[in-house]
Amino acid sequence: MARHFDIRSQPGFPLIALFTFAMLYLPIVTLVVYAFNASDSVSQWGGFSLRWFADAWDNSAVQDAALRSIIIALCAATIATIAATMAAIATTRTAPYRGLGVKYAFINTPLMVPEIVTAVALLIVFSRIKVWTGYSGLGYLIIAHTAFCIPFAYLPIRARLESMDSTLERAAADLYATPWMAFRRVTLPLLRPGIIAGFMLAFVISLDDVVITEFVKSGGQDTLPTYMLGQIRRAVTPEINAIATAFLALSVILVTAFFFINRRKT
């Protein structure tokens, strides 16, 4: 009788796994530790202090960049999630037909195209629109982030739809529910965990984007990641560590919140 293959039982697997996790998380742990460094140096420990968190909190440039990042991420994630939900329903709640695979690939193209290519393409298009309209506000960043975030929101929503039992929707139709009523009363409640996951993923992707933002933004439109990049080019201080640690904490909070929301809904 053939034995079941288990990668964990292979020689050297624990050592390789430990080494991999160390390479992944040791730099992050170092960054977090030095965010609490009282010294001006990012490489010499000078004692525990919350000084750099206070400096970042009181820095008006950080406040403006953080607020701008949150506004852009919220708008982009909301629009991307709505569009991804409609696209997921259109590509799953239908009989297979020729061209469906092409549509699926088209939706996920931003995941396969190098981000720098997308950024340059958006720069060329938006530069012409700016000349024609004279508008140079945050709308361009919101549109760019939305376009880039749609496939990230689409994947968990589509996965949730594919795992749902469609007989409940057919039963609602048999009970004379209109398509909108069946969607609102049956599909949407069951789909909510996938929508929340898609929104959170799109929000995080938009919040920490650097390449597209750096190419599309106008003067005075720094987001927090581009502000950090600019500061690193000048001088690296533990304030950057503090901002990065706050970013990490926000990501952990979002993932934890989704875990409990998803566990409660399923």
For the stretch 151-188, pLDDT in tens is 999 988 988 888 877 777 778 777 777 778 878 788 78
What the block records as the tokens of 266 is: 């399923």
What's the DSSP call for residue 4?
A: P
Kindly give the parts of the chain with pLDDT less than 70: 1-6, 8, 258, 261-266
Q: 118 near 212, Cβ under 8 Å?
A: yes
Phi, psi of 37, rounded to the nearest 5 degrees: -85, 130
- How high is the pLDDT of residue 261? 62
From CA 82, how far away is CA 74, in angstroms rounded? 12
Q: In the chain, what are the domain boundaries?
A: 11-49, 59-265
| pLDDT score recorded for residue 71 | 93
Cα(133)–Cα(156) distance, integer angstroms: 37
What CA–CA distance (Å, rounded) separates 135 from 213? 17
Q: Of 105, 133, 88, 116, give the one whose Cα is nearest residue 211.
A: 116
At residue 262, the pLDDT reads 60
The total of other beta-carbon atoms located within 10 Å of residue 260's CB is 9
pLDDT at 1: 47
pLDDT of residue 146: 93
CB contact at 8 A, 149 and 206? yes
Place of tokens 């992944």: 24
Domain 59-265 annotated CATH 2.20.140.10: no
Q: What is the pLDDT of residue 11?
A: 75
Three-state SS at 177: coil
pLDDT at position 265 is 52
Give percent of the chain with pLDDT exceeding 90: 16
| Gyration radius of the chain over CA positions | 23
Q: How far apart are CA 209 and CA 76, in angstroms?
A: 12
Q: What pLDDT score does 5 carry? A: 66
* Alpha carbon distance 70, 145 (integer Å): 12
